[in-house]
Amino acid sequence: MKILITGGAGFIGSHVVRLFVTKYPDYQILNLDALTYAGNLENLRDVENASNYKFIKGDIADQNFIDQLFAHEQPDAVIHLAAESHVDRSITDPMAFVKTNVIGTVNLLNAARSLWQPGGYEGHVFYHVSTDEVYGSLDFGPEMFTEETAYDPRSPYSASKASSDHFVRAWHHTYGLPIKLSNCSNNYGPNHFPEKLIPLAIHRLRTGQPVPVYGKGENVRDWLFVKDHATAIDAVFHKGKEGDTYNIGGVNEWQNLKLIELLCDVVDEKTGQEVGTSRKLIKFVTDRAGHDMRYAIDSSKIMNELGWKPSVTFEQGLAQTVDWYLANEEWLNSVTSGAYQDYNQKQYAGR
Ligand code: NAD
Ligand code: DAU
């Protein structure tokens, strides 16, 4: 089987590529990635010479390129992760999210349909990896997002992901394209780009800079270790029902401030500082526009139907993550040079 994985040089994609290349030596894995600021082939150095792996640089928003790629490579299946993924960037540049997340997804759907339909859809699958943010925002009650929760996206990022989910389902209902979807909560772990809360905080603590907490730090997110998301994607790809959606989460809700305080203490312990030192760097800053209050995900469907569950506790995952960032200073330095500094200046200036 030849699988086209899009966005494989990014955070989650690189863990998915590694898992599939190493676990399934009989599969051919094509990694299609535009190598935007978030894509980094350093994430895949350990598998880049594997005989069942090939990297292709290209933009999913370029229709001609995508059509030619499908005609030439003839993939049997697609696991689609390529996206603009950062909510703050979607607030300042929404059109980039429309281009990649919406138009890019439709280009892939069209190309898969054209390639597969003449011979029938048997043995093919188009799997879209999506987010829990499409469901909107919860208050602090017991409610959780289920696969039946109505869509209510509220940021340009989540609107673009909701739109792409709708297009994927429309291609199933209208053209019979065999699709699968999953909607996951916040990931964390190695190779996470340091614009997202956890790696941003580790990077800033490491370099003695303030750690920005939006608003009062009351917002709640559910956190899942990235390698556990990769095994969930493996389960959905191989065992998930055609046409179905699976919610994926860590059963692990944290208020942002509590999470940052815990992270500060882990960093202090790992770096041999007196516990409490890092907490002094916490800085409350202006809130994110339209900041969703709480995400909580009910993962019972994937757990009960596909037998998936997270392999690590949050404490274990966070410790592994901090260890990875402390041991991979070079990676962090390389991704935080140049353009990253301009972004940071604009993002946090005056806050
Ligand atoms: P990321 O930003 O780290 O990586 C995205 C990758 O897509 C990068 O390698 C980038 O170069 C590539 N890319 C961007 N635009 C492209 C284009 N036009 N053509 C080809 N490649 C392009 O993102 P991530 O955090 O790894 O997220 C991966 C997917 O999982 C996304 O679809 C995201 O919506 C979804 N998701 C992320 C999370 C999370 O917590 N990070 C949670 C749930 C779902
Ligand atoms: O829920 C899944 C989503 O999780 C994914 O679909 C997105 O791709 C991913 O980026 C993530 O979105 P969030 O907006 O929740 O993640 P982020 O790390 O940007 O922020 C986490 C929380 O921390 C959020 O409530 C905003 C807050 N925050 C974030 C940053 C960057 C801060 O308080 N300070 C910060 O500097």
pLDDT in tens, 289-326: 999 999 999 999 999 999 999 999 999 999 999 999 99
Query: Is 133 one of the catalytic residues?
Result: yes
CA dihedral 254, 255, 257, 262 (to 10 degrees): -20
Residue identifier of the C-alpha nearest atom 36 of ligand 2: 212
Task: Tell me if 257 is assigned to some domain.
Answer: no
Domains: count for the chain: 1
Determine, yes or no, domain membership for 14.
yes
Q: Is residue 268 part of a domain?
A: no
Q: Name the active-site residue from 133, 195, 222, 292.
A: 133
Q: Where are the alpha helices (DSSP H) in the chain?
A: 11-23, 63-73, 87-92, 94-97, 104-116, 156-175, 197-206, 226-239, 256-271, 300-306, 314-327, 329-335, 339-348
Q: What is the pLDDT of residue 339?
A: 82
Contacts of 279 (CB under 8 A, 6+ apart): 261, 264, 265
- % of residues, the chain, pLDDT over 90: 95
Q: Is the CB of 34 under 6 A from ligand 1?
A: yes
199 occurs within a structural domain: no
pLDDT tier for residue 176 given thresholds of 50, 70 and 90:
very high
In a domain, 48, yes or no: yes
Domain limits for position 84: 2-191+223-252+291-312
Ligand 1 pocket residue status of 87, Cβ below 6 Å: no
Q: pLDDT, tens digit, for every residue of 47-92?
A: 999 999 999 999 999 999 999 999 999 999 999 999 999 999 999 9
| 94 within domain boundaries | yes
Ligand 2 binding residues, C-beta < 6 A: 85-87, 131-133, 185-186, 196-197, 200, 212-214, 219, 221, 256, 288, 295
Please give the average per-residue pLDDT across 127-138, as a whole number: 98
> Does the beta carbon of 225 lie inside 6 Å of ligand 1?
no
Single out the catalytic residue among 53, 157, 214, 246: 157
- Is 330 a member of any domain? no
Q: Is the CB of 11 under 6 A from ligand 1?
A: yes
Question: Which CATH number characterizes residue 135's domain?
Answer: 3.40.50.720
> How far, in Å, from the CA of 162 to the mean position of ligand 1?
15
Alpha-helical (H) ranges within 125-239 are 156-175, 197-206, 226-239
Q: Is 195 an annotated catalytic residue? A: no
Q: Could you read off the pLDDT of 95-129 as tens digits, one per residue?
A: 999 999 999 999 999 999 999 999 999 999 999 99
Q: Does 319 fall in a domain?
A: no
98 lines ligand 1 (CB under 6 A): no
